[in-house]
């Protein structure tokens, strides 16, 4: 039977992030009562604070979109932050949710949980079948632990909790800091700045040949609300767009959207990361969700948001 969100009190953990923000907007449109709590209210790495806040708040459902996230550089440079903080956040929230008897939890993982050389497109059952991509293994191991912990509460206590694995995400509210961002916001900012300064050149990390699948955060949020309502099961569910491009092709699309032709310089001192990670989203499609927008449309929307909030990104400092 479908889970009715109307009027339900749903805590979006991580509402200030790109994904959490999108989920909060989508849940509000669904008629849910969205609960938000910033770090000044509850520090998710602190077990006592999470337990006390959860016991006092007692949400009906939780979307666990809080995480220490970042691109390939930040993942490689801050292994403790990515492993420790993410383990603590998910363990604290799930145990506190169990103690507060929370009906539904949706835990969010990432496509980097899969082996570096998994068969493509990657089905859900590729999990734990081979070695991980080293540039983000810390984050991946924390996320794998989160999937397993969610499954453990289901197995041991019969909790109706689920997990979803989004592919590489982008959209309004992304992080545009060039040291910690993912590739799409980084290239949007680099092309925009080259256009403003007339630099004529944009530096792209790595070889430009890795393939990535991209999904707009509002499409992810739509899929997550669909899963919250319609899915109850032990297995995690892939959420992708099926749209895959090389990093060079991505740079070319962004050049077109920003409206600036620049020479691409490939910086071979920066890592490529995993060669390809296209997810098999067949299970989600079979359940009835397949509404990802075309990549170019999503980038147009994201660039408009970037321009509207330019000062926030520090691009004109
Ligand atoms: O998005 P990204 O940082 O992360 O990098 P991953 C994707 C690809 O884009 C890599 C290249 O091949 C990068 O070398 N790239 C080119 C750039 N130019 C740039 C640039 O200016 N900035 C960045 N950041 N990349 C992430 C993981 O892996 O995937 C996270 O680090 C998470 O943990 C996420 O799992 C989904 O796609 O390689």
Residue 253 burial (10 A CB sphere; 0-12, 13-18, 19+) = middle
Mutating to test ligand 1, I would choose from 182, 249, 272 the residue with most ligand atoms within 8 A of its C-beta, which is: 182
Mutating to test ligand 1, I would choose from 273, 274, 277, 279 the residue with most ligand atoms within 8 A of its C-beta, which is: 273
Judge contact between 170 and 184, C-beta under 8 A.
yes
Phi first, then psi, for residue 34 (nearest 5°) are: -85, 130
Please tell me if the CB atom of residue 220 comes closer than 6 angstroms to any atom of ligand 1.
Answer: no
SS (H, E, C) 24-82: HHHHHHCCCEEECCCCCCCCCCCHHHHHHHHHHHCCCEEEECCCCCCCHHHHHHCHHHH
Cα(231) to centroid of ligand 1, in Å? 30
pLDDT attached to residue 310: 85
Cα(224) to centroid of ligand 1, in Å? 23
Cα(268) to centroid of ligand 1, in Å? 14
Active site includes 139? yes
Please tell me if the CB atom of residue 111 comes closer than 6 angstroms to any atom of ligand 1.
Answer: yes
pLDDT attached to residue 158: 98
Alpha carbons 248 and 186: distance in angstroms, whole number: 13
Q: With a threshold of 0.95, does the pTM exceed it?
A: yes
**DSSP state letters, 209-263:** --EEEEEEHHHHHHHHHHHHHH---SS-EEE--S-EEEHHHHHHHHHHHHT---E
CA 85, 276, 302, 313 torsion-angle sign: positive
Protein residue whose Cα sits closest to atom 21 of ligand 1 = 186
Mutating to test ligand 1, I would choose from 176, 205, 254, 264 the residue with most ligand atoms within 8 A of its C-beta, which is: 205
Protein residue whose Cα sits closest to atom 30 of ligand 1 = 71
Q: Three-state SS for 297?
A: helix
Atom of ligand 1 nearest to the CA of 277: 37
Give the distance from CA 217 to its chain's centroid: 8
In the predicted model, residues of the chain with pLDDT beneath 70 are 1, 313-317
DSSP β-bridge partners for residue 105: 62, 161
Alpha carbons 222 and 178: distance in angstroms, whole number: 28
Atom of ligand 1 nearest to the CA of 247: 9
Q: Which residues have a Cβ under 8 Å from the Cβ of 269 and sit 6 or more positions away?
A: none
Protein residue whose Cα sits closest to atom 25 of ligand 1 = 183
Alpha carbons 65 and 20: distance in angstroms, whole number: 5
Atom of ligand 1 nearest to the CA of 272: 12
Atom of ligand 1 nearest to the CA of 71: 3
pLDDT attached to residue 144: 98
pLDDT attached to residue 16: 97
pLDDT attached to residue 1: 62
Please tell me if the CB atom of residue 159 comes closer than 6 angstroms to any atom of ligand 1.
Answer: no
pLDDT attached to residue 314: 56
Counting every residue, how long is the chain? 317
Please tell me if the CB atom of residue 240 comes closer than 6 angstroms to any atom of ligand 1.
Answer: no
The residue among 12, 312, 11 whose CA lies nearest residue 174 is 312
Radius of gyration of the chain (CA): 19
Phi first, then psi, for residue 114 (nearest 5°) are: -85, 155
Cα(210) to centroid of ligand 1, in Å? 9
Cα(227) to centroid of ligand 1, in Å? 27
């Amino acid at each position: 039977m479908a889970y009715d969100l109307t009027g339900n009190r749903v805590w979006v953990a991580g509402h200030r992030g790109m994904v959490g923000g999108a989920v909060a907007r989508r849940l509000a449109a669904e008629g849910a009562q969205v609960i938000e709590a910033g770090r000044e209210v509850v520090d998710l790495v602190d077990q006592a604070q999470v337990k006390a806040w959860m016991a006092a708040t007692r949400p009906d459902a939780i979307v666990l979109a809080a995480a220490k996230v970042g691109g390939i550089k930040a993942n490689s440079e801050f292994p403790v932050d990515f492993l420790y903080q993410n383990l603590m956040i998910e363990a604290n929230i799930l145990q506190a949710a169990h103690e507060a008897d929370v009906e539904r939890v949706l835990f969010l993982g990432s496509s980097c949980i899969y082996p570096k050389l998994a068969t493509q497109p990657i089905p859900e059952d590729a999990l734990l079948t081979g070695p991980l991509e080293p540039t983000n293994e810390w984050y991946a191991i924390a996320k794998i632990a989160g999937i397993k912990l969610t499954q453990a509460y289901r197995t041991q206590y019969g909790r109706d909790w689920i997990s979803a694995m989004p592919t590489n995400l982008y959209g309004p509210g992304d992080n545009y800091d060039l040291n910690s961002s993912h590739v799409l916001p980084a290239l949007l900012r680099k092309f925009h700045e080259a256009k403003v300064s007339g630099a004529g050149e944009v530096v792209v990390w790595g070889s430009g040949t890795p393939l990535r699948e991209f999904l707009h955060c509002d499409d992810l949020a739509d899929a997550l609300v669909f899963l919250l309502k319609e899915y109850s099961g032990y297995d995690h569910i892939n959420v992708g767009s099926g749209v895959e491009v090389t990093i060079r092709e991505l740079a070319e699309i962004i050049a077109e959207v920003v409206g600036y032709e620049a020479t691409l310089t490939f910086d071979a001192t920066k890592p490529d990361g995993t060669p390809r990670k296209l997810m098999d989203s067949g299970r989600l499609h079979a359940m009835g969700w397949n509404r990802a927008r075309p990549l170019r449309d999503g980038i147009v929307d994201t660039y408009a948001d970037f321009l509207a909030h330019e000062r926030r990104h520090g691009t004109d400092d």
